[in-house]
Structure 1
Amino acid sequence: MDQRHCRSGDRWKPYSGRCPDLSTPHEPGCRSARECGRLSEGPSPALIPFVGKIRASERIADALRREIIAGQPVARTPALMERFGVSRPTLRQAFRVLENEQLIEVRHGSRNGVRPLRPGPDSAARMVGQSLQASGATIEQLYEAREAFEPFAAALLARRRDRRDIATLRASLGALSALVEAQAWPDLGAALARFHHELVALTGNQMLALTAATIATLLEQHQRNRNLFIETDKPDVATLEFRGRGVRSIARLTRLIEVGDADGAEAHWRTHLINSADHWLSGQDRHAVIDIVGEPA
């Protein structure tokens, strides 16, 4: 069956080197429908539109990506082939794109075939981290990025003075104090790290919350891959003092937010972040490229 067709309005005509709807001929050397983005794999009213040289698999991935993010299920392979008017290999190429983005899980041999995955901070952090590592971003830049928006979040909460926000902050502070009393040092370190994300999440701004979660995940992955700052049950005196200052700093931030001192909350938390970065970056290369992938086994 001849697959070389070109669309003209709602009709399909045999390919002759120029589409009626386009003012220029196809690229030189285009021998078949599969080699030109302006051609289809055959006449089908269900075919998704093509623009320029975009491949069929990319267009299918775009359509499915929108549906997955909207929470819609992914149809079975035969139904998708019929819907988009493409072959199984073309559909598999689209699936590979979405798999790499961790938006779907392809289950070979299963009746359903493809299971959509809900995007989350971990998948976002992985993609962003790999891109940052490839571009040479440094560990110091991660801390600087956090300084750019966490003080703003603190000021926003202080201006709002929402009773629910303050109750959440006080509950977090109480949990931190309990860990100090119990001398649960590894748990305390993890809870202090989580507080950065919890603070930003209270703003209700999803963009800020995702950014904060991504930075926290990247810092954790870098430290784990480099075997840095492993928490122990018997930390040294300097670490204990640093943890204590962190809890007291959160207590002060909570009071500033409670009284509605936006400028004070912003300035205090910026100072906290600067001091925290100085502590974590002491003894290591500030300009080291972040390590998200890790060394080969």
Structure 2
Amino acid sequence: MADEVQFQPARPRRAIDEIISQIRASIQRGDLGPGDRLPAERALAEQFAVSRNTVREALRMLEISGLIILKKGATGGAFITKLDHSVAARSLSDALQATNVSLSDVTEVRLWLEPIVINAACERMTAEHLQALQDNVDQASKLSAEGDWERKAVVHVEFHNLLADATGNPVLAILMRSLSDLLREFVLAVGPTTDDIILRSRRRLLGHLRKRDAEKAVQEAQRHLKRVHKMWLTGSYKGAYTES
């Protein structure tokens, strides 16, 4: 365990985001590396000056993003995973955020990039990739039933990263993760929704992916993206929008 790593008290507002940011920064600086174990929840809570529940939630989100793995038992804890595309993607997303890109900018790039990702994934994805996508949809469905909209939003965004991973191309994976970082911040800022059209679209998309039908998969992804983008811009995302 990297005992020498010390964190600063987190500000009460958006404390979870700040905890994630500090841990992510420690990884990027090299203070924490693959296999290192973070301090116990109690110690982290003291350092960040927050509750253990807040620390636990931040660790769960870090696990979803792939930066750590949580292990149970006497020898368990939160361990830094092997460095992957997430570090490079975060650097790129930070640079994009500094340029004050708009939602329309992000949507436009996604409309260009998603057909490339989907076509490559349909050609190259394995059974393991498909299972990871299915597990993601199942997890989102479970969180939706529990009313945990914030974690569900993070899981929804992670779907795009898993799909990009299925292409086997690290450049596509990094580009998608950088866009996902921007998208996640926006989705969390928008807040909870009353109708989860994303889950229904994801199930249709997954069905096309299983059949390796890239054309229909692209049509579903772009159709859904345009509708969600329009709802975000008009503020109707929290309304009673329904879809069969």
Cα pair distance change 1:168/1:221, threshold 3 Å: closer
Correspondence for 1:174: 138
Structure 2 counterpart of 1:29: none
Q: CA deviation at 1:213?
A: 1.4
Equivalent residue number for residue 96 of structure 2 = 128
Tell me which structure has the larger Cα radius of gyration: 1
CA distance in 2, matches of 1:173, 1:267: 19
1:257 aligns with 2:209: yes
Match of 1:270?
222
Give the conservation status (yes or no) of the 8 Å contact 2:124–2:168: no
Q: 1:180 to 1:220 in 2, by over 3 A?
A: closer
Residue identity opposite 2:209 in structure 1: I
What's the CA shift string for 1:102-130, capped at 9, x where partnerless?
A: 97689xxxxxxxxxx99532222212332
Instruction: Say which of 230, 243, 247 aligns to 2:191.
Output: 230
What letter matches 2:155 in structure 1?
A
Using structure 1 for the length normalisation, give the TM-score.
Answer: 0.47
CA gap of 1:274–1:178, structure 2 versus 1, over 3 A, is same
| Structure 1 residue identity aligned to 2:228 | S
Structure 1 or 2: larger helix share?
A: 2
Q: What is residue 149 of structure 1 aligned with on the other side?
A: 113
Structure 1 unmatched runs, 5+: 1-101, 107-116, 232-238, 285-297
Deviation of 1:269 (Å):
0.9
Structure 1 residues 139 and 105: alpha-carbon distance in aligned structure 2, compared to 1, 3 A threshold: same
**CA distances 1:82-105 after superposition (whole Å, capped 9, x unpaired):** xxxxxxxxxxxxxxxxxxxx9768
User: Within 2, Cα distance between the matches of 1:103 and 1:151?
Assistant: 31
Match of 1:55?
none
Identity %: 22
Deviations 1:171-197 (A, max 9, x none): 112112212222322221221122222
CA–CA separation in structure 2 for the residues paired with 1:190 and 1:264:
25
**Alpha-carbon contact 1:157-1:165 (below 8 Å) kept:** no
- Matched residues in 1 for 2:29 and 2:134: separation? 39
Are the aligned partners of 1:153 and 1:200 in contact in 2 as well (CA < 8 Å)? Answer: yes
> Is the CA contact 2:126–2:166 (under 8 Å) kept in the aligned structure 1?
no
Which whole-Å CA distance do the structure 1 matches of 2:219 and 2:170 have between them?
23
Do structure 1's residue 163 and structure 2's residue 127 form an aligned pair? yes
1: distance between equivalents of 2:152 and 2:106?
A: 22
Aligned equivalents of 1:240 and 1:200: distance in 2?
A: 28
Q: Distance in 1 between matches of 2:106 and 2:157?
A: 14
> Structure 2-normalised TM-score?
0.56
Equivalent residue pairs, number: 157
* Aligned mate of 2:155, from 186, 191, 201: 191
CA distance in 2, matches of 1:145, 1:193: 15
- Residues 169 and 127 of structure 1: is their aligned pair in 2 closer, same or farther, counting only changes over 3 Å? same
Instruction: Report the secondary structure of 1:190's partner residue.
Output: helix
- Inter-partner Cα distance in structure 2 for 1:188 and 1:219: 14
Query: 132, 140, 143: which one pairs with 2:104?
Result: 140
